[in-house]
């Protein structure tokens, strides 16, 4: 993917790491959290049983565990906590001043507070390309906090991860070498049809410990000799679809250079769209809600009420010529224009802008 991604750490034939295709970023988060829980409870057990093991059951009960993410993390984080019965999801607030990225000092304070309350921090989720505004949490600084407290760091790179292969964007991903796991959705920017999410783990041990079972009817010589990798031990279901095939076709059809060009085209189009919004003809009408990030442009009608923003969105969709969806940032409604579709051209973006401009002028 890119030189900064330490492939040697994540490939199956290395000492510790590994990678596996999952169905979605949501499933990948569940697998990562299971591994995090296993790793944490194993280390706590070792520590406690050397002294007094009596508090282990309460301290290590899932009710007492806590997972951390920013308020911009995707809902998969909360859902993974719900599914696994993790008692607490500590949400770190973000702010416009920090472009809605997590502040690592706030994270450090939150982890310390949870520990002081007697809770067991098991995992932190940082996002490189949040869903609402494509914010980038600072991976390196967050990795330092996680290391300090011995907490598993999972990176949700579902949307943004593919852009790591664009050389100029690599600084956005620095620190990825330090994380425990990260996931990239190939069904987002890597041109595959749904569903295929690549999960990387720096240490496959806790994943296998959490998910391996060997019932009699699955015993076979190849597995027992270690000649094959049984991916059933890396995921929730037993059976697997042959998802790798569609990724293989994409790589055969495009190759890494053309995938990079495709991503760069999305970046150029988002820059183009924002230049139209902020151009002479329109800058009185629109404002950018955050600086453009990757292929996403978040904008609002300038100086208008929340009701107007809603009506604006409704009116744009009602034209049937342009489809955009909204989010809320700091409680304010924001419209999101996504660039980077495979067949999207500069002309398409210009035409969409014309629709948006017309609707804005009519308001």
Ligand X SMILES: Cc1ncc(COP(=O)(O)O)c(C=O)c1O
Structure tokens at 192: 């595959």
| 159 touches ligand X (CB under 6 A) | yes
Q: For ligand X, which stretch binds (CB under 6 A), given 62-70, 127-135, 208-216, 277-285?
A: 127-135
Angle at 90 between CA 88 and CA 95, to 5 degrees: 160
Q: How far is the CB of 35 from ligand X (least distance, A)?
A: 17
Q: How far apart are CA 23 and CA 9, in angstroms?
A: 22
Whichever of 267 and 296 has its CB closer to ligand X, that residue is 296
Q: How far is the CB of 187 from ligand X (least distance, A)?
A: 7
| 333 touches ligand X (CB under 6 A) | no
- CA terminus-to-terminus distance, the chain: 45
Q: Which of 131, 133, 235, 270 binds ligand X (CB under 6 A)?
A: 131
Give residue 229's region: left, alpha or beta (phi > 0; psi -120 to 50): beta
Q: How far is the CB of 34 from ligand X (least distance, A)?
A: 16
| 26 touches ligand X (CB under 6 A) | yes
Site size toward ligand X, by CB under 6 A: 14
On whether the CB atoms of residues 154 and 36 are closer than 8 A, the answer is yes
Q: Which of 74, 189, 204, 300 binds ligand X (CB under 6 A)?
A: 74
Phi, psi of 34 (to 5 degrees): -60, -45
| 156 touches ligand X (CB under 6 A) | yes
Sequence-ordered alpha helix ranges (H) in the chain: 7-10, 25-50, 56-59, 76-84, 104-116, 139-149, 205-211, 221-225, 244-277, 306-319, 346-362
Residues 177-196 that bind ligand X (CB under 6 A): 185
Q: Which of 5, 30, 35, 76 binds ligand X (CB under 6 A)?
A: 76
On whether the CB atoms of residues 92 and 71 are closer than 8 A, the answer is yes
Residues that bind ligand X (CB under 6 A): 24-26, 74, 76, 127, 129-131, 156, 158-159, 185, 197
């Amino acid at each position: 993917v890119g030189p900064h991604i330490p492939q040697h750490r994540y490939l199956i034939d290395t000492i510790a790491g590994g990678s596996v295709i999952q169905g979605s970023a949501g499933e990948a988060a569940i697998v990562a959290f299971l591994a995090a829980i296993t790793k944490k409870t194993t280390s706590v057990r070792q520590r406690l049983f050397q002294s007094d093991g009596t508090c282990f059951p309460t301290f290590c009960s899932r009710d007492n565990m806590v997972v951390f993410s920013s308020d911009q993390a995707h809902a998969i984080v909360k859902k993974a906590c719900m599914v696994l019965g993790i008692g607490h999801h500590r949400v770190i607030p973000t702010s416009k001043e920090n472009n809605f990225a997590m502040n690592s000092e706030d994270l450090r304070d939150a982890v310390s507070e949870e520990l002081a309350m007697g809770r067991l921090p098991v995992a932190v989720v940082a996002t490189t390309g949040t869903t609402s505004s494509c914010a980038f949490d600072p991976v390196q600084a967050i990795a330092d906090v996680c290391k300090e407290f011995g907490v598993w760091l999972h990176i949700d790179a579902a949307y943004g991860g593919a852009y790591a292969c664009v050389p100029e964007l690599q600084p956005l991903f620095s620190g990825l070498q330090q994380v425990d796991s990260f996931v990239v959705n190939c069904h987002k920017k890597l041109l595959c049809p749904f569903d295929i999410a690549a999960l990387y783990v720096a240490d496959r041990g806790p994943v296998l410990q959490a998910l391996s079972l060997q019932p009699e009817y699955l015993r076979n010589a190849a597995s027992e000799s270690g000649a094959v990798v049984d991916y059933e031990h890396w995921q929730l279901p037993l059976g697997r679809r042959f998802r790798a095939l569609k990724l293989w076709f994409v790589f055969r059809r495009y190759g890494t250079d053309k995938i990079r060009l495709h991503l760069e085209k999305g970046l150029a189009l988002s820059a183009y769209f924002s230049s139209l919004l902020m151009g002479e003809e329109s800058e009185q009408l629109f404002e950018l809600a955050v600086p453009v990030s990757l292929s996403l442009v978040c904008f609002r009608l300038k100086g208008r009420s929340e009701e107007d923003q809603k009506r604006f969105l409704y009116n744009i969709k009602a034209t049937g010529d342009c489809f955009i969806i909204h989010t809320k940032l700091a409680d304010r409604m924001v419209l999101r224009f996504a660039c980077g579709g495979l067949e999207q051209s500069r002309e398409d973006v210009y035409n969409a802008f014309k629709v948006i401009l017309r609707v804005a002028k009519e308001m």
